[in-house]
């Protein structure tokens, strides 16, 4: 199947430990409308083209010289590990049968057709007892890669849990993190309040995700390779985590806030995946292009696509518009290939 028309771009907004809340303009998704010209590109260094389908090939492959890895460890006592291990045994749900999607198949989770989540709650962050993540475990002994999912601005809701189940069906241990201490928002004002509260303490977010990574690495069925992925608020946090968190192996960003500083992006030592929407009211194609250019200048491999004629949120909620299906499928198949080459089972 040919790739749907699209493009890639980059942004001026930084989410990191020193970010400013005013830069995270979620209100602009709702309150502004801008018309952006579609730019189709193909290949890591090819000039823009007006032709056909929009696929950005993987970015420059010059990571060979970057052999050092960075690790910012969080205090994780043996006692805390025992507490988390016992908690995990007590509250995990059923294991997910290995049933990967076939070529051309979109997972039910993003079509709005999945059943009730089959995993279970997990208390993984000892610092905040109200935090409750969601763990989806695949059947079988492993070893296998693991994925940390980072929710949107409304919190850890069932749609994110269902995506965790879908990743478990693909063979990954999937832990959906909870950055809102068990809370969710039900409207724009509640969502923005949660965003502002949590992003005011990026250090705590990093510690939360480090705790999720520590739990996953403690599992005998995990091969030691961990990826992080997120949407919207969670996409920006995923980038921030790649810059300042525990060393990990993959970062997938779905229409999240971006950074266009090559020097800072050079701190990333793994390939970056990105899926963006050409009609996104809060993140223009030009911003995504700036992000990609900075990644390339920093020597960071990347697989970043912009899909024309779809809006912010198109991938997680495919059912909202029939036009979402083709780009959502392409983004899903790219994601599967990306996870396989970065964290796939040994």
CA 281 to each of CA 30, 58, 155, 310, 343: distance values in angstroms, whole numbers, following the listed order: 7, 26, 21, 11, 32
- Residue 1 banded pLDDT, cuts 50, 70, 90: very low
Range in 23-32, 89-98, 187-196 with the lowest mean pLDDT: 23-32
User: So what's the pLDDT on residue 15?
Assistant: 33
What sign for the dihedral angle of Cα 30, 36, 40, 44? Answer: negative
- Percent share of the chain, pLDDT over 90: 70
Mean pLDDT to the nearest integer, 165-191: 98
User: So what's the pLDDT on residue 246?
Assistant: 83
CA 266 to each of CA 100, 281, 331: distance values in angstroms, whole numbers, following the listed order: 34, 28, 25
- Residue 142 banded pLDDT, cuts 50, 70, 90: confident
The residue among 85, 229, 257, 238 whose CA lies nearest residue 166 is 229
**Residue 38, both tokens:** 């579609």
Pair type for strands 250-254 and 144-150: unpaired
pLDDT, tens digit (0-9, with 9 covering 90-100), for 274-319: 999 999 999 999 999 999 999 999 999 999 999 999 999 999 999 9
What sign for the dihedral angle of Cα 278, 195, 107, 214? Answer: positive
User: So what's the pLDDT on residue 345?
Assistant: 64
Which of 31-40, 62-71, 239-248 shows the highest mean pLDDT?
239-248
Mean pLDDT to the nearest integer, 201-226: 97
For residue 7, give the 3-state DSSP assignment.
Answer: coil
Mean pLDDT to the nearest integer, 223-244: 97
Pair type for strands 120-122 and 173-176: unpaired
CA distance 221 to 141: 6
For residue 326, give the 3-state DSSP assignment.
Answer: helix
Helices (H), the chain: 27-31, 78-91, 108-111, 158-169, 188-199, 202-218, 233-244, 262-265, 285-298, 325-343
For residue 115, give the 3-state DSSP assignment.
Answer: coil
CA 270 to each of CA 59, 230, 289: distance values in angstroms, whole numbers, following the listed order: 12, 16, 19
pLDDT, tens digit (0-9, with 9 covering 90-100), for 236-280: 999 999 999 888 999 999 999 999 999 999 999 999 999 999 999
Mean pLDDT to the nearest integer, 102-106: 96
User: So what's the pLDDT on residue 91?
Assistant: 54
Share the mean pLDDT of the chain: 80
Q: What is the 3-state secondary structure (H, E, C) of 156-202?
A: CCHHHHHHHHHHHHCCCEEEECCCCCCCECCCHHHHHHHHHHHHCCH
- 170 by Cβ neighbours in 10 Å (0-12 / 13-18 / 19+) ranks as buried
pLDDT over 60 (residue 333): yes
pLDDT over 60 (residue 80): no
Mean pLDDT to the nearest integer, 22-49: 31
CA distance 176 to 110: 15
For residue 267, give the 3-state DSSP assignment.
Answer: coil
Assigned fold of 21-32+91-98+105-343: Rossmann fold (3.40.50)
Range in 13-27, 97-111, 209-223 with the lowest mean pLDDT: 13-27
Chain centroid, CA 142 distance in Å: 23
The residue among 252, 230, 228, 267 whose CA lies nearest residue 145 is 228
Mean pLDDT to the nearest integer, 28-53: 29
Backbone Cα Rg of the chain: 19
pLDDT over 60 (residue 57): no
Mean pLDDT to the nearest integer, 125-140: 96
**Residue 278, both tokens:** 């050409």
- What lies within 8 Å, CB to CB, of 88 at 6+ separation is 122, 124, 135, 215
User: So what's the pLDDT on residue 218?
Assistant: 97
Q: Are 222 and 216 contacting, i.e. CB atoms less than 8 angstroms apart?
A: yes
């Amino acid at each position: 199947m040919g790739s749907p028309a699209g493009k890639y771009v980059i942004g001026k907004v930084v989410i990191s430990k020193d970010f400013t809340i005013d830069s995270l303009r979620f209100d602009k998704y709702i309150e502004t409308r801008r018309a952006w010209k579609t730019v189709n590109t193909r290949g890591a260094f090819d000039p823009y083209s007006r032709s056909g389908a929009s696929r950005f090939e993987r970015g420059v492959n010059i990571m060979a010289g970057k052999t050092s890895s960075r690790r910012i460890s969080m205090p994780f006592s043996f006692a805390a590990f025992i507490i988390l291990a016992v908690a995990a045994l007590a509250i995990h749900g059923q294991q997910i049968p290995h049933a990967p999607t076939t070529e051309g198949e979109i997972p039910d989770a993003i079509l709005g057709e999945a059943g009730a989540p089959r995993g279970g709650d997990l208390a993984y962050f000892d610092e905040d007892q109200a935090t409750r993540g969601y763990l989806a475990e695949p059947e079988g002994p492993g070893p296998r890669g693991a994925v940390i999912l980072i929710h949107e601005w409304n919190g850890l809701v069932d749609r994110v849990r269902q995506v965790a189940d879908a990743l478990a069906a693909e063979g990954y241990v999937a832990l959906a993190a909870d950055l809102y201490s068990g809370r969710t928002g039900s409207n724009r004002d509640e969502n923005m309040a949660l965003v502002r509260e949590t992003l005011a303490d990026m250090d705590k977010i990093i510690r939360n995700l480090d705790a999720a990574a520590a739990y996953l690495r403690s599992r005998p069925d995990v091969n030691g390779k961990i990826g992080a992925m997120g949407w919207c608020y969670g996409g920006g946090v995923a980038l921030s985590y790649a810059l300042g968190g525990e060393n990990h192996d993959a970062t997938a960003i779905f229409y999240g806030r971006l950074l266009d500083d090559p020097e800072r992006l050079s701190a990333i030592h793994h390939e970056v995946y990105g899926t963006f929407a050409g009609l996104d009211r809060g993140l223009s194609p030009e911003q995504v292009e700036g992000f990609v250019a900075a990644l390339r200048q920093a020597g960071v491999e990347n697989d970043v696509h912009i899909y024309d004629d779809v809006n912010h949120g198109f991938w997680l909620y495919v059912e909202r518009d029939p036009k979402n299906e083709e780009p959502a499928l392409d983004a899903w198949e790219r994601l599967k290939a990306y996870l396989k080459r970065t964290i796939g089972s040994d």
